[in-house]
Structures are given as C-alpha cells and as structure tokens.
Amino acid sequence: MKITINDQAKKLLNEKNKKHVLVSLFQQFC
C-alpha cells in the first residue's frame, strides 16, 4: 500500500513540477 501511495504522490509531484516549469517559462517570455 505504501509503495502505491508513494508512486501516486510522485506522479502528482511530477505533474505539478511540469506545470510550474511551464508557468516559469511563460513568465520569462512575458
């Protein structure tokens, strides 16, 4: 159970990180 929860958490963190990178790049261009 702990492993599956950790995997899901990592996926969520990766998605948030991707969004954060896109936002930071967008702000740099603007």
Span 1-29, pLDDT tens digits: 677 888 988 999 999 999 998 899 888 87
Strand (E) or helix (H) holding 27: helix 2-29
Q: Quote the pTM value.
A: 0.51
Query: Does 30 score more than 80 pLDDT?
Result: no
Number of residues that make up the chain: 30
pLDDT at 1: 62
Residue 19 is predicted with a pLDDT of 92
Round to whole Å and give the CA distance between 3 and 11.
12
